[in-house]
Structure formats: C-alpha cells, structure tokens
Amino acid sequence: MTVADVKPSHRIVGEEIVRHDAVEKVHGRTSYAADAALPGMLHAMLKRADVSHARLRAIEIEQAKAIDGVVAVLLAEDVPNNRIWVDVPGQTVEVGALKAFQNVLADRVVRYHGEPIALVIAESEDAALAAVDAIEIDYERLPVIDDPVRALEEGSPTVHESGNLLTEWVLEEGDVDGALRDAPVVVEDSYQTQFIDHAYLEPEAGLAWLDTDGVIVIRASTQVIEHFRDVARILGVDDNRVRVIAPYVGGGFGGKEDMTVEPYLALAVRRTGRPVRMVWSRQESLQARQNRHAVRMHYRTAADEQGRLIAQDIEIVSDGGAYAFLSALVLLYSTTCAPGPYRCPNVRINSRVVYTNHTPCSAMRGFGAMQVALAYEGQMDRLARRLGIDPLELRRRNFVEKGDTLAIGQPLPTHVALPELTEAVEERIGPRPVPSSPHKVVGRGFSCNFQSYGRCVWLDDWSSAWIGFELDGSLVVRIGVPDIGCGQASSLVQITSEVLGVAPERITIHIGDSALNPLTGTTTATRQLYMSGNAVLKAATELREGLAGVAAELLATETEDVEFSPNGVHPAGEPERVVGFAALIAACARRSVPWQKLSVFNGPKGVPWKADEQWRGRVLPDFTYGCHAVDIEVDQDTGHVRVLRYVAAHDVGRAINPASVRGQIVGAVAMGLGQALSERVVFEEAQNLTGTFAQYLIPTAVEIPDVEAIVLESGEGLGPFGARGIGEPPVGPPVPAIAAALHDALGITLTATPFTSERIAIAIGEQNRAAD
Amino acid sequence: MNISLRLNGTPVDVDVPPHWTLLRTLRDRLGQTDVKHGCGEGVCGACTVLLDGVAVNGCLVLAVQADGGDIETVASLADGDTLHPLQQELVERGAVQCGFCTPGMVLGALEATRIGAAADRAEIRRSLAGNLCRCTGYTTIVDAVEAYQQRVANEVSP
C-alpha cells in the first residue's frame, strides 16, 4: 500500500481541534528558550559594532575583563573556525554557487551596524552588560555603501573584496524587444519595497550546557535544529558532539532560520564548561538581525487590445545588506515569481542582489516572492485602467493553468484555483462602503499571487518521522520539527490520529531535538506540513499495515476489512467487536510484529541550478495560489488610511486543521498590511535607527480590521491528503491590494512602500497643485 | 533591597537590587516565567501583570515600586487544569499561535473587561492596542474577548 492509496474517513483531518500547545501556552506553562535556567549558569552578551563600515584598528578588552564577575571575553582569534557557512541549512550538503559565509566574530573589518565583535561571558547579566560597555574599539572608518544601485557603479567602494554584486540571474524567453516594439499597449513603472523586520514577540534566546560524552547541548529559539552541524564546524568537532533542542518558538517568520545565539552559546560553554544563557535585547533583535530585502523593480509589460500579455521586461535590484546569508535563494524566488501567475510568451528578467553596509537581509515569510507581487499586480492594474477592463477580468484572461511552465522552466503540477478564488473574494467583499465623512474617500483593491511551498527540488529534501505504540495503547510520535507557533506539532498529531484511530489526547509528540528525534528538516519554506506531514502519514500508514494484519487475525476477518477507531480496531460496521490497542500491541509482541515505525519521505528531485543563462528547469515542488480584496478609507487631509474590510482566499488543497489554516492567512494579512502601511527599518548612513518597537511600528489591534479568510480545498496539493502549504503565501497580496485601493480612492499611483500617511498626504498635495 | 509581595495569592519576600524591574524580579528571582520579556521598553505588553488589580508593564515598574503590592500573573487564572473562561475562549477560537504574547494579552483583556472597556469590537481593539501580536492578526483574539465579555454580561444580567 502506498501513501496515495490511503482513503481515510476524514474522521479528524479537517476538524478544528484545539491545539494541545495552545492550552499550555494560555496557561503560561510553555517553557520558551529564555524561560529555562540551570544552577551555576553564566550569562553571555555580545559587543556589537557601533558603526556600519570600519576597519578594527584595536579592540581593548582588558578593562572589561577586570570587571568583577566577568569570566571571559572572546574575540575572533578565539574561535576555532571563525566562519558561519550559509549553504542552505538542513538536510543538504551541496548547493554549489549559492554558498556564502560570515564571521562568527568580526575579523579586522565590520560591515554593518550591530555586527558581533566580542563575546562577553559573566556571572551575571549586569556584569556582562558592564563589560560590553567597557570594551573600547578604535575604528578606522571606511566609506559607507548604502545604495544598491550606486554600489554597482564602476569605481564604487566595496563591502567585500569580491565586489558588490552578490548574485545575478539573467533569463530571456522569446523575443522581448520585438514584442515590446510591436505591442498595441505597453505599461511601464518602477516599484520599491522597504526593509522589514520579522518583529516576533520573542527575542532571540538560548541556554546551553555540556552534557555527558562531551556533547554540547543548545536549547534555543530556532527554526532549524540542523544547525548543530554548523556549530560543530565552528567548534571543529564532529557533528555528533553538538545537539540542538528547539522548544516552542515565540515566532519565527524566517528570522530564526539563520543561526542567532547558537554559535556564541557553544563557544561560551566550550570555554567555561558551565551552563550559559544568552538573551538578546529587543534593540539587538531589531537593529542587528537580518531583515527582509528592500527591492527595486522596473517593469515593462506589453499586451494586446484584449489585455492578454505579450511581453514582460523585468529588472530587479535587491539590497542584500552586508553579508550574503540566503540572499541568492531569496533572489531566485523573486526571479521565479517575477512575471506573476500569468501566461506570457516573451519574458526577460535581470535580477541582481547587491552588498551594501545595511543590516544583512535573509529569509522572511514571503522570501522574495512577496516583493515582486507589488510590481506584477501593479502592472496588471495599470494595464486594466489603460484598456478599460475590470482588473479581475484582465487577470482572468491571463492566469496560468495546471500544466503550464513559467519562464524559468518551472512546471505548475497541480490545480490552479485562481478563477475560483477571484470569484470567491468578489462575492464576499460585498457592497462598496460609504465614506464616514465628507473629507474622506473610500477605495477597493484586489490582488492575486502565488508562492511555492517546499524547498528547491535540487536540494533533495527529505523528512523522517517515528511513530510507536506504548504497551498501554497510547501513542508516541517523534519528529525533529521545530514548532514556531503555526501548529506544526498539532497538525502532525491530527494526521497520526486520522490514520491510526488513536484519539489526539492519547498521542504524545516529541519534537525539536536533533539528537533524539528523527530529523525532518527546517521549519522554513512553507515545508513542514508538506514534508513532515507526508513523513508522518507514511510512518502511520506503514505502521497501520502491520497492525491491521494482526487485528484481522484476532477478529477473524480480512485485513482490508478492519477499521481503526479511538477505542481500537474493529471489523468495518461492527464497532462493538473491538480489539483495544493495548491488547493489539500485546498480540503484536507475541508475534514479533513491530509496533513502531521509522519512515522517510523524499521530496521531488530536480536538476541542480547552474550559473548559466541557458539553465531552465523545475525550481520548486508546487505553489499555493491566492486572491485578496480590501476596502479602505482615506482621510484626504491627513493621508491616514483606515482598513475597513479584508477578504483573503487561498486554495490550501486540504485543510488539516481549518482553524490553523485561517490563523496563517489572517496573520499573514496583518503582516502584509504592516508592510503596506507602517513598517520600515530606517537607516541613516547605514546606521540602523529603528531599535525599539516605538520606532518600528508593527500593526496593533486597532490598525487591523476583521479579516475574513476563505479556505478553498481543491484536494490537489503535494502534502498529506492533498494539502498545500499556507504559512508564507498569504503575506504577498496585501501590499498590491492596498496600492490598488489607494488608486481607486484617490486616483494616485503609489509605488514605494510603506504607504504612510505622510507619503499619501504629499501625493494628494501634488495632485491638487497639478489640478490648480 | 528587601521587598514583600503577594504573588498569585502567596506572600513572598525577595531581596533585589534597586535597579531591577518587577519583570526581571518575577522571572529571574521568583521563577515566574509565565511573564514574558518581549521588548523591555513598555511597548509590546508581553510582560503585562496585574499590580493591585491594575494591568501594568512589568518592565516599566521597578521591583521596589511594587513593594507591598498584590501581583497576579496569568498562572493565577486557571483552577488547576480548568481554564479561566477567557482562556477557554482564546484556545477554542484559535487565538493562540506562538503564544508569546498570550499571557500579557489575557491579562490586558481581562482588565479591559473588568473596567468595562470592552463593550464592542472597536473598544476591545483599543483596549488591546498595548499588547502586540505578530502571529494572529488579532481577529480571533477580538472574537474571544467579545465572546467572554458577552458571557460576563449575561452572568451579570441573566
């Protein structure tokens, strides 16, 4: 029996069960990374660069070391291998050209404001803080590079010796110049997005200690327990001497995909042999952690009179900040998704990501695919206005369909529900609102998007899961999934319960431990339900197969005839003739039939990407599609935008827990609205000025309206029971939807996020002056 | 400095440095880790506790200022494993995702309900503006507080 053959009753898959972790959390019982402590524990803290680009002439640490309670101060030369390799962490070893690194502690040069220079280890946080303040650094200032376009100019100063160009993707399909020349309609514009912080409520934190056999254990807030390998490389020990545990994480959104506290904790434990805790301040989290890439885009889009796309000519320049991290992959996602979910025969894309002295950029929910939605949807709206066609109708004339191939060579293997999604939001958004006062106007905007779930196919992604019964008939799931708040663990329990019948209350899931759990890969790339869900489904299905045979024997029936239910196993239609799980496991033991199963699920494979303009192929497993609609009210005097109503529809294939699915959609909409309207990381000469939540404005309950999530279930997805991933995709449409609504309300085209009150008020003023 | 508190109904004496905040004292001296440190600057609300029945940010109150005070944290609300009705509404409506804002959110919402500042959805939203959440988009939290408020209103005037 293969996974595809399982025809579950959907007894519990599709039910809105209460997540077991939610109960613990609302009690306040969940132990997050910073909540754990050990006797004799030391405290570690980083001295970070105060400037954005400088040579380190001298680092004076003697005064710091003399402070009472300071145990050690480490510098670059104290790190065995002072390199953090970023080669797409997790289940893979080779990514070739996408390999990048940064220093654990700054080595001779600092390239961004906040770069770690020295690691202080002390008996108390107060002593550590005093020591950080006492470290004197003699900087030789270097020219600051804070504009990615100027950074590419001939003669620009450089961030790294290799030059400022980090990665470039170039591709052309068809004859773009010819099509643009001959097309009846061409629309053209430039778009720009800002730097965004993840702004999870839980700052980066961890506790580490030395365990038996010389194993360093790091219990940290992370999306990737497989970083144990990266830590081992830094320490110069075998991979199996480092163990990473991820407790429930207080928000990730991609910001805990790269390592945070892990290498510093490991170095401190190695140096002292004592337990060490490190908790970053909000200021460190906001100023010194990776951001979402700020992207500049220029689009020329050609269409025929009916609005069918003929050509897209796309240029992208992305600001990667001071170190590469995952920039190359983020840009690949931008490049793959740049034309939008629209058919187009002639496409040219030139995308570049550039080093600057800004805070490094890396993964964030939406991962390059969300920024380009502002541009491709802006172009569709512009085209619709030029041709006098309804914006959703224009999109419908161009939607990709199942079986199509994107310009980069990416096939679309499953159902594309965009037509149904547009109909659903049009119907639900309802009648147009009326302005609440004479100086206010209302506007409505629509947008569509698509984003992948699962990792690049050439990474040979895999997940593994272990499921086993206890002798009393309760069930255990072991899987190395970090749960970052989306219900990863709970959904896996639900899938297990569906297949094996055992009630969720009788299932315990052990997660997030690189030593004691089967590894299952990163909680990133909208991949956990897809990959880990399939691994759990496979393990449960294979386990069930063996148990069903024994049960059939006990029940004197056929294997195909047995049903698994919360009380045990019974012949179909005869629930009273049940064998309890404890009795069944005892029977298995007597027959030496295993009641435990370890299974591996492999994702689709692909041809590795090469640095070659001719390369075409499948980049990602599959996509999740969406359509959003928003109504806003704009105060024409102040430019203030109030979001009145929001509807977001996505085809999730199959909703394992619809409440969790809606939670992902609504939460992502709020994050997207923050990007559209208020959030921005502000730099001056590459100095990060947004170090508090009073300066970096994420939306509060007042700014976000009631968001209605529409969950479509096409049944076509590559995940368990036909599920698609939903964690990241809904963050894309809010920005273009707000841009469209602003144009609808004011007749003004705004192309640079965030659309703050100031920017809107200035644009209204310019429009009024032009009209005078 | 020596201070005395009532912490979730139990009297405690604790010796703290004068510059320590109530938040730090609760977490690092008294093991009360259900109170979360989110920003340390009084903006996110994750460290909300009730001090003499009033919701305060634990990071903005010095421990010595709370001397003699009655502190309630989220851990005081449930009766063993039986959740407080507001907590029950939150979990049933999917209003808990990463959960890091939840303890502060619960206490902020509870106070808003107690003082009559949660009469409708708009009021609930204003009352929760001091408790940031990055996961849920707030809609389900407002749903839960609204349902709890209605439950309370029905109990008062059956």
Q: Which residues of B touch A491 (CB under 8 A)?
A: none
Q: What is the pTM of this model?
A: 0.97
Tell me which chain A residues have a C-beta less than 8 angstroms from the C-beta of B92.
18
User: In angstroms, rounded to a whole number, what is the distance separating the alpha carbons of residues B122 and A234?
Assistant: 52
Two structure tokens written together for A229: 């390998």
pLDDT given at position A9: 58
Q: Is B26 on the interface with A (CB under 8 A)?
A: no
CA angle A258, A263, A264 (to 5 degrees): 120
Cβ–Cβ under 8 Å, residues A478 and B89: no
pLDDT band for A92, please (50, 70, 90 cuts). very low
Determine the distance in angstroms separating the CA of B4 from the nearest CA of chain A, rounded to an integer. 23
- For residue A728, the chain B residue with the least C-alpha distance is B135
Packing angle of the helix pair B139-156, A658-677 (nearest 10 deg): 110
At residue A611, the pLDDT reads 62
If asked whether residues B64 and B96 sit together in one domain, one would say no
* One-letter amino acid of A574: E
**How far is the C-alpha of A501 from the C-alpha of B13, rounded, in Å?**
51
Residue A97 has pLDDT above 50, yes or no: no
Residues facing residue A100 across a β-bridge: A86
- Indicate whether B43 and B69 sit together in one domain: yes
The answer to whether B137 contacts A30, with C-beta atoms less than 8 Å apart, is no
Structure tokens at A676: 């559209």
Question: For the purposes of burial, counting CB atoms within 10 Å of the CB of A305, is it exposed (0-12), middle (13-18) or buried (19 or more)?
Answer: exposed
User: What's the confidence (pLDDT) of residue A6?
Assistant: 45
Q: Are residues B54 and B113 in the same domain?
A: no
Q: How many CB atoms are closer than 10 A to CB A591? A: 11
Tokens of A554: 């006990």
Contact across the interface for B83 and A27, Cβ inside 8 Å: yes
DSSP-assigned beta bridge partners for residue A276 = A42, A208
Inter-chain residue contact A27 with B74, CB threshold 8 Å:
yes
Which one of B38, B56, B76 terminates a domain?
Answer: B76
Determine the residue among B39, B57, B77, B88 to mutate to test chain A binding: the one whose Cβ has the most chain A Cβ atoms within 10 Å.
B39
**Mind telling me how many Å the CA of B25 is from chain A's nearest CA?**
13
Residue among A26, A29, A126 whose CB faces B96 most closely: A26
Query: Which letter does DSSP use for residue A608 in this model?
Result: P
Q: Which residue in the block uniquely carries the two structure tokens 């009024």?
A: A768
Give the distance from residue B123's alpha carbon to the nearest chain A alpha carbon, in angstroms: 9
Higher pLDDT pick, A124 / A10: A124
Mean pLDDT for A488-504 is 97
Q: Amino acid identity, residue A64?
A: A
B153 has a chain A CB within 8 A of its CB: no
- Name the residue among A21, A492, A517, A44 with its Cα closest to residue A244: A517
Mapped to the 3 state alphabet, what secondary structure does A167-225 carry? EEEEEEECCHHHHHHHCCEEEEEEEECCCECCCCCCCCEEEEEECHHHCEEEEECCCCH
Q: Do A34 and B99 touch (CB under 8 A)?
A: no
* HSE value, Cβ hemisphere, 13 Å, CA-based, for A570: 14
For residue A558, the model assigns a pLDDT of: 96
In the sheet with A475-479, reading across from the earlier edge strand, the strands are A507-511, A475-479, A462-469, A596-602
| Beta-carbon pairs below 8 A across chains A and B | 169
CB A296 within 8 A of CB A314: no
Same domain, B105 and B68: no
Is residue B59 domain-shared with residue B89, that is, in the same domain? no
Alpha helix (H) residue ranges in A248-398: 262-272, 282-288, 327-337, 371-387, 391-396
Residue A94 has pLDDT above 90, yes or no: no
B119 plus B143 within the same structural domain:
yes
- Report residue A538 as tokens: 């496979």
Partner A contacted by B40 (CB < 8 A): yes
Whether residues B61 and B114 share a domain: the answer is no
Minimal Cα distance from A696: which residue of B?
Answer: B43
Percent with pLDDT over 90 in chain A: 92
- Containing A40, the helix (H) or strand (E) segment is none
Give the C-alpha distances (Å, rounded to integers) separating A336 from A158, A341, A406, A618.
28, 10, 7, 10
What is the average pLDDT value for chain B, to the nearest integer? 96
Instruction: Tell me: do B66 and B90 sit in the same domain.
Output: no
Looking at residue A609, what is its pLDDT? Answer: 73
Q: Work out the minimum CA distance from B51 to partner chain A, whole angstroms.
A: 18
Please answer yes or no on whether A200 and B93 come within 8 Å at the CB atom: no
A50/A141 Cα distance (integer angstroms) = 11
Which of B76, B105, B129 is a domain's end point?
A: B76
Find the DSSP H helices in A218-342. Answer: 228-235, 262-272, 282-288, 327-337
| Spatial distance between the Cα atoms of A401 and A370, rounded to a whole number of angstroms | 20
pLDDT digits (tens, 9 = 90+) for A263-296: 999 999 999 999 999 999 999 999 999 999 999 9
**Interchain CB distance below 8 Å, B94 and A126:** no
Are residues B8 and B61 located together in one domain of the fold?
A: yes
- pLDDT value at residue A2: 37
The predicted structure's pLDDT at residue A608: 77
Q: Give the residue among B70, B69, B88 at the shortest CA–CA distance from B78.
A: B88
Position B94 scores a pLDDT of: 96
DSSP-assigned states of every residue in A534-546: HHHHHHHHHHHHH
Whether residue A126 and residue B17 make contact (CB cut-off 8 A), yes or no, is: yes
How many CB atoms within 10 Å of residue A586? 15
Number of domains in chain B: 2
Average pLDDT over chain A, rounded to an integer: 95
User: Which amino acid would we find at residue A678?
Assistant: S
Q: Which has the closest alpha carbon to A601: A85, A2, A31, A18? A: A2
pLDDT number for residue A10? 65
pLDDT score for A96: 43
pLDDT at B157: 66
Q: Residue A612 has what pLDDT?
A: 67
Instruction: Establish whether this prediction's ipTM goes over 0.90.
Output: yes
| Confidence grade of residue A157 (pLDDT, cut at 50, 70, 90) | very high
Containing structural domain, residue B58: 2-76
- Contact check, Cβ <8 Å, B140/A16: no
Looking at the structure, do residues B128 and B147 belong to the same domain, yes or no?
yes
**Which domain CATH number covers B89?**
1.10.150.120
Helix axis angle, A734-746 relative to A371-387, nearest 10°? Answer: 30
CA–CA min distance A483, chain B (Å): 8
- CA A311, CA A344: separation in Å to the nearest integer? 6
Average pLDDT over residues A621-644: 98
Angle of helix A533-555 relative to helix A581-591, nearest 10 degrees, comes to 80
State whether residue A16 sits within 8 Å of chain B by CB. yes
Query: Which of B59, B76, B93 is the last residue before a domain boundary?
Result: B76
Nearest CB among A251, A281, A701 relative to B40 is that of: A281
**Interface-testing mutation among A32, A201, A666, A698, with chain B (most B C-beta atoms within 10 A):** A201
Helix (H), strand (E) at residue A453: strand A440-453
Cα-only R_g, chain A: 27
Same structural domain, B70 and B103? no
Question: Is the CB of A667 less than 8 angstroms away from the CB of B135?
Answer: yes
Domains along chain A?
A: 3-30+462-602 (3.30.365.10), 33-142+204-279 (3.90.1170.50), 294-456+609-771 (3.30.365.10)
What pLDDT score was predicted for residue A91? 37
Sequence-distant (≥ 6) Cβ neighbours of residue A459 within 8 angstroms: A88, A90, A91, A92, A95
Q: Tell me what pLDDT residue B44 has.
A: 98
Q: Do β-strands B48-51 and B10-15 pair in parallel, antiparallel, or remain unpaired?
A: unpaired
> Who's near A692: CB < 8 A, 6+ residues apart?
A282, A283, A286, B39, B41, B43
Q: Are residues B28 and B15 in contact, defined by beta-carbon separation less than 8 angstroms?
A: no
Q: Tell me the β-bridge partners of A298.
A: A190, A315
pLDDT above 70: percentage of residues in chain A? 96
Contact across the interface for A201 and B98, Cβ inside 8 Å = yes
Nearest 10 degrees: Cα torsion B93, B97, B103, B107: -40
Which chain A residues have a beta carbon less than 8 Å from that of B135?
A: 251, 485, 663, 667
Contact map slice: B 75-134 vs A, CB within 8 A: 75, 78, 83, 87, 90-94, 96-103, 106, 121, 124-126, 128-134
Could you tell me the CA-to-CA distances from A319 to A71, A290, A589, B146 in Å, in that order?
Answer: 39, 12, 60, 43
By C-alpha distance, the chain B residue nearest A249 is B98
Helix, strand and coil in chain A, % to nearest 5: 30, 25, 40
Q: A88, A459 in Cβ contact below 8 A?
A: yes
Alpha carbon of A486: minimum distance to chain B alpha carbons (Å): 6
Q: Consecutive 10-residue runs of chain B (158 residues): their mean pLDDT?
A: 97 97 98 98 98 97 98 98 98 98 98 94 97 98 97 80
Whether residue B91 sits in one domain with residue B150: yes
User: Residue B62: which CATH number?
Assistant: 3.10.20.30
Question: Coil, strand or helix: which one is A120?
Answer: strand
